Every structure is written in structure tokens, then in C-alpha cells.
Amino acid sequence: MIQELNEPWAQDREYTKYTLWFIYACIIYSIIGFSWGALMGGVPTFRHFVNSGVPGHRLVLGHTHINLLGWVEMAIFGAVYFVIPRLVRRSIYSLRLVKVHFWMHNFGLLGVVVFFCAAGLIGVFIDDEGELVASRFMSLAGMFGSVVLLANIIWGYNIYRTCFGWNRSR
């Protein structure tokens, strides 16, 4: 415990807060994703809808993205943000980039899921106009996915800069 007081990352409450927020987000997304999966598998009408074609498949895309980008990635980010500073014995390169990463990733993920689901639900109306609107929603999901990608690039850059030159004295 005394050694921890000399470690700069252990004293940074803001960094600890954001690291924990990644873990809290992971928990929330896992509960949402697991519940969604249980509904898809356990409610026959819902299961029939998701197995019936393209509109149902779009809802499955929302489910898989909330699990992968929400539950899994957030857990990995939180763990890496915790482990890397201890491994290389230095503070994170940029707390600001941690914050930007957190908010961009969540904003992008929610947009992806909302627009996948909107495309799936509008796709129930299979006429040409319904499919046109659904395709626009899918494009919006792709744009929000690009926000998630950019957030992940920011994360990778921040981790790289934290680790770069770890074995040289400062």
C-alpha cells in the first residue's frame, strides 16, 4: 500500500474513475445484451421474427454489437487501462484521450445499435419505400460505427504512447 502512494497512476483519481467507468459500462452492456439474447431465444414470436429474414437479422446485428462493442470491448479497455500503467510503471500518456475514447465509443455504439434496430423494425414494412428507409438507417449505423473505430484508434494511440520507450529512464 505504501508503494502505491509513490506510483503516479495510483494517485490519479480521475484516471481511476474513467477506468472504472469502462468496467461499469461493460456490466450495463452485458446485462442489456444477455437480456436481449434471452428474449430472442425465449420468446417464440421474437425468435421467429429474428429468424425470418433481413429485418430480423438487423436486430441480431444490434444484439451482437452491444455484446461485442459494449460488453467485451469495454471490459478489455478497462483492463488494459488498469494493467498498462502498472506494467510499464508510468502514467497513461493522456487522460484527455481516455475521456474522449470513453465518450466517443459509447456515443458511437449507441448510434450503431439504435440504427440497426430502427432498420430492422422499419424493414418489417417490406415495400420499396420501407427498404429504402432501412438502407438509410443502415448507412447511419455505419457512420456511427466509424465513430467507434476512431475511438478505438485513439485508444490504441494512447496505449502505444504510454508504452513507447518503457525501458528507458525518463
CB 111 within 8 A of CB 42: no
Looking at per-residue pLDDT, the higher value among 80 and 169 belongs to 80
pTM of the model: 0.88
Please name which of 7, 32, 20 lies closest in space to residue 110, comparing C-alpha atoms.
32
Q: What is the mean pLDDT of residues 97-124?
A: 94
Question: Domain for residue 170, yes or no?
Answer: no
pLDDT for res 4: 53
Question: Domain for residue 169, yes or no?
Answer: no
CATH number at residue 60: 1.20.120
Which residues constitute the domain of residue 17?
A: 2-163
Percent of the chain past pLDDT 90, that is, above it, reads 65
Question: Domain for residue 31, yes or no?
Answer: yes
Question: Domain for residue 20, yes or no?
Answer: yes
Asked if residue 111 has pLDDT above 90, the reply is: yes
The pLDDT tens digits of the residues spanning 13-46 come to 999 999 999 999 999 999 999 999 999 889 888 8
The pLDDT tens digits of the residues spanning 151-164 come to 999 999 999 999 99
Please report which helix (H) or strand (E) contains residue 84, including its range: helix 73-88
**Number of domains present in the structure of the chain:** 1
Question: Domain for residue 23, yes or no?
Answer: yes
